[in-house]
Every structure is written in structure tokens, then in C-alpha cells.
């Protein structure tokens, strides 16, 4: 399969992309709400989006709608998914250790960058859209770290919009 031109076959090759896409849309919405609402809405927006995403994944997994018509992921995709999660947890712990102020711009931009890195790994389990999202998230967070004058809320909202766009594409291409 040519992943660049065969978008219709992508979901069969990467059956995890539908569920991953749904998760990204909800987390992205939480990020956008948090960014638009201001600093005191950052964390509640993110937590709400993540909680809704987990709920959708649980319901979709139990009812099997996540894989409907797609088949099941290959073992290597589950392994890549696991490696991505372990890498993210490890890198988040590193950020927590190195940036003690958990309310700082620097802390949250490093967290957004770490999430982008984990998406690069998830490209092997969730498909190339996830990998592209990872690159764009890394560029967004990296730009914010390098150029302190960029408003933090703009970076947070941009990250959310990237996740919504990638997630929507992943879901739509899986049907």
C-alpha cells in the first residue's frame, strides 16, 4: 500500500487510527477551550477533554465499534503503541524533574513537545497522519520554547487545532 496516495486503505493497515483519531479530537477540543478560556481553563479543559476521550475509547472498545470493518491491529502495532506510551511517561517524568514550576510556560511547552515525540512513535501503530501530527506538535512547542514572545495561549490553541484536524482526518478516513 502506498501511504501517500492510498488514504482509503490506510485504516485497514492501521486499525488503531479510528480510536486514536477520536481521542485526538476530544483532547484537542479540551486544549482549544483551555486556550480560549485563559490560564485558569488550561488544565480543566485538558482534563475534561482527556476524560471524555478515555470514556469514548472505553465504550468503543467494549462495543467493538472502534474496529468495526477494519480488522484488528497487528502485534507490532500494539508493541509500538506500548513503546510510545512508555516513552511519553518517561519523558514527562524527565520534564517534571527538570522544570519544577508546573505552572510555567516552559513546563507546559515541554509537555506539548513530549506529546509530539510520542506521536512520532505512534505513527507505527496509528499511521502516518499521527506521525505528521507529531512533527507539527514538536515544531509548535519548539517554536514557543525558542521564541518567548509568542503568546502561550496561541501555542496551546494551535496544538489543540492540530490535534482536532489530525484526529478528524483519522476518523473520517477510517469509514
Tell me the whole-structure pTM to 2 decimals. Answer: 0.90
Would 70 be classed as within a structural domain? yes
6 secondary structure, DSSP code? -
Asked whether 126 and 169 are in contact (CB, 8 A), the reply is: no
- The stretch 111-134 carries a mean pLDDT of 97
Question: Is 1 contained in some domain?
Answer: no
Closest-CA residue to 162 (of 9, 10, 27):
27
8-58 residue pLDDT tens? 789 889 999 999 999 999 999 999 999 998 878 878 888 898 898 888 878
Establish if 65 belongs to a structural domain: yes
Boundaries of domain holding 117: 7-173
Q: Looking at the domain assignment, is residue 2 inside a domain? A: no
How far is 118 from 23, CA to CA, in rounded Å?
Answer: 14
Count of domains observed in the chain: 1
Amino acid at each position: 500500500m502506498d501511504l501517500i496516495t492510498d488514504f482509503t486503505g490506510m485504516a485497514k493497515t492501521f486499525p488503531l487510527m479510528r480510536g486514536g483519531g477520536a481521542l485526538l479530537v476530544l483532547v484537542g477540543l479540551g486544549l482549544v477551550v483551555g486556550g480560549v478560556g485563559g490560564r485558569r481553563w488550561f488544565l480543566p479543559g485538558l482534563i475534561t477533554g482527556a476524560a471524555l476521550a478515555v470514556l469514548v475509547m472505553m465504550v468503543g472498545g467494549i462495543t467493538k465499534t472502534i474496529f468495526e470493518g477494519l480488522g484488528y491491529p497487528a502485534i507490532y502495532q500494539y508493541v509500538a503503541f506500548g513503546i510510545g506510551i512508555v516513552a511519553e511517561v518517561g519523558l514527562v517524568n524527565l520534564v517534571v524533574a527538570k522544570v519544577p514550576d508546573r505552572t510555567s510556560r516552559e513546563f507546559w511547552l515541554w509537555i506539548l513537545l513530549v506529546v509530539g515525540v510520542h506521536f512520532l512513535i505512534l505513527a507505527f501503530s496509528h499511521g502516518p497522519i499521527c506521525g505528521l501530527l507529531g512533527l507539527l506538535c514538536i515544531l509548535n512547542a519548539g517554536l514557543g520554547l525558542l521564541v518567548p514572545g509568542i503568546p502561550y495561549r496561541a501555542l496551546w490553541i494551535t496544538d489543540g487545532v492540530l490535534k482536532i484536524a489530525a484526529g478528524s482526518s483519522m476518523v473520517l478516513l477510517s469509514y
